[in-house]
Amino acid sequence: MLLSSARKRSLVNLTPLIDVVFILLIFFMLASNFLRWHSLEISVGEASEIEIDALALSIVSINKDTSYMLNKKPMPIEDIVTTLRSKVNSMPDHVVVIQPEYGASVQAMIDLLNLLKPIAGSNISIAKPVEE
């Protein structure tokens, strides 16, 4: 017995699918903003000589090897955060100065800023990098 009903393979036309993909690609390229994906606003002022109580100031140094020091004492970052949290709780006007060493990672400074911002708020300053 001959099978008279031979199945025809229907061909899928890919042209409309490719057109849709290109239209989506163009839409997402135009809708994306690559210039301001992540930004951090830092205001830079002039250097000045001011008198400040040594107890109301903490200097956090970032070394080239991404190690941290609090007031010239090497410490892990977790201990620095804990120490500064207790100082700011006891003295709300406590100032935190971040001072990177030349060649220190910018990402390390940003990570430190993200950790200290909830603790010290607007009492954080960034000092000029220390020369070797």
Asked whether the CA dihedral 69, 75, 81, 87 is positive or negative, the reply is negative
What values do phi and psi take at 43, rounded to 5?
A: -95, 130
* Domain 54-126, classified CATH 3.30.420.270, yes or no: yes
* CA pair distance 124, 58, nearest whole angstrom: 10
Mean pLDDT across the chain: 78
Domain ranges of the chain: 54-126
State mean pLDDT over 106-122.
83
Its pTM surpasses 0.85: no
Among the residue ranges 43-47, 77-81, 94-98, the one predicted with the least confidence is 43-47
pLDDT single digits (tens) 39-48: 555 655 555 5
